[in-house]
Amino acid sequence: MSEFGFEISATDGPARSGVIHTPRGEIQTPAFMPVGTAATVKAMLPEHVAATGADIILGNTYHLMLRPGAERIAALGGLHKFMNWQGPILTDSGGFQVMSLAKLRKMSEEGVNFQSHIDGSEHMLTPERSMEIQAFLGSDIVMTFDECTPYPASEDQARTSMELSMRWAERSKTAFGAAKGRALFGIVQGGVYPDLRHQSAKALQETGFHGYAVGGLAVGEGQDLMFATLDETVPALPAECPRYLMGVGKPDDIVGAVMRGIDMFDCVIPTRSGRNGQAFTRKGSLNLKNARHADDPRPLDETSNCPASRDYSRAYLHHLVKSNEILASVLLTWHNLAFYQALLADLRLAVGRNRLGDFALEFNHLYGNSGAASKV
C-alpha cells in the first residue's frame, strides 16, 4: 500500500494547485468533496458523482456510528465497498454533529456523552472511539476529534474550547497510531481570535499531522470575518501539507478561500440546494420554483459535459420541482455538483496559468451582480 503524500505543482500568490496521493487514487487540488454523510451523496449514484469530476467524498462518524453502525460496515467490507465508492473517502470525526444534533449531551475531558437524535439511545464519543470508528469505516483521511467552537463566543470561551480540542488532538494521534496508507488531519480552532488561531496551529504542528484543517468557520460569522480569520490562520500552517477548510461553502466563499491558500473543501450546499429547487450558475443561483422558468426551453448550461446541465430544459426542471418529482432532486443535485467541480477545475487552471486574480475578479463580477441571476 502506497503512502499518503502531497505535491504542489503551481502557486499564484498564497494559492496553490497540486495533488494529494492516496492508495485509492489521486486528489487534484484545490478539491471539493461532495458530502456523503450517511454513506450516500443524496440523490446521486456513486458513478455519477465520480463523473462530475469528484476525486474524493466525505462521510461522517456520528451518523454512521448510529446507523447502520461502524462495526457492521466493517464486517461488510468497509465503507468503500458498502457504498460502492472506489475513490478516497474523508470522514469527519463526529465532533460537530455531537454539538449540533445530539440530545442531552454532557461534555467532559474524556469526551462527550450524548443521546442519539434518532432514537434517544445513549453513546459516548471520545477521541479514542472516534479513531476506532473511522478505522472500522476504513476512511483514507481521518479527522481528529474536536469541539467546534460556536459563534459568537467570548475569547475565554474560545480559548477553553480550543485548548480542549488540542488535548483531544494529541489523544487522537496516539489512538490513530501508524496506519499505513491513511492520513490524520488536525483541526485548528480558536474562533475569530487571531492569537488563539496561532496558538492552535502551533500546538497541532508540535503534535504533527499529515494535513491541517481550519474548523469553526461558516458558523454564522459572515464572509468578511471568515476571510479575515483565514488571512491570520493559513500563513501559520505548514506549506508542505494540505489545508482543508471545513464546511465551506458557497461558490464565492470557495474562490476567496483558494486565493488565501486553501486546498480542500466540503459542504452540503450543492446537494441540499438541489433538493430544494436551486441551481448554481456562473451568473448567480436560479430558483427553479419561479414561474419565469415555466416556458424557458434553455438548459441550465449548454456548454457543460453534465447531462443534467445540458440535456434538460429549465421548463422541464421547473415542472419537476413544482410537481415534487424525485427526478427534480436528482437532476438539480447532479447539475450543482458538476458546477462545483467545474469551478474547482477552473481554479486549478487559473493557478497554473498565474491568473487567479483575473479569474476571481471576473467570477465575482458575474456571480456577485445582484441583477445577474434574473438575466441568466
Residues designated catalytic:
92, 266
Spatial distance between the Cα atoms of 126 and 279, rounded to a whole number of angstroms? 39
On the 0-12 / 13-18 / 19+ scale of CB atoms within 10 A, 84 is: exposed
On the 0-12 / 13-18 / 19+ scale of CB atoms within 10 A, 302 is: exposed
Residue from 19, 22, 85 nearest 50 by CA: 85
Spatial distance between the Cα atoms of 120 and 102, rounded to a whole number of angstroms? 9
Spatial distance between the Cα atoms of 286 and 304, rounded to a whole number of angstroms? 16
Could you tell me which residues come within 8 angstroms of residue 374 by beta carbon, excluding any fewer than 6 positions away? none
C-alpha cell at 212: 491541517
Host H or E run for residue 284: strand 284-287
Strand, coil or helix: 219: coil
CB contact at 8 A, 338 and 308: yes
Could you tell me which residues come within 8 angstroms of residue 174 by beta carbon, excluding any fewer than 6 positions away? none
* CA-angle at 128, arms to 245 and 159, nearest 5°: 50
CB contact at 8 A, 183 and 210: yes
**Residues facing residue 8 across a β-bridge:** 18
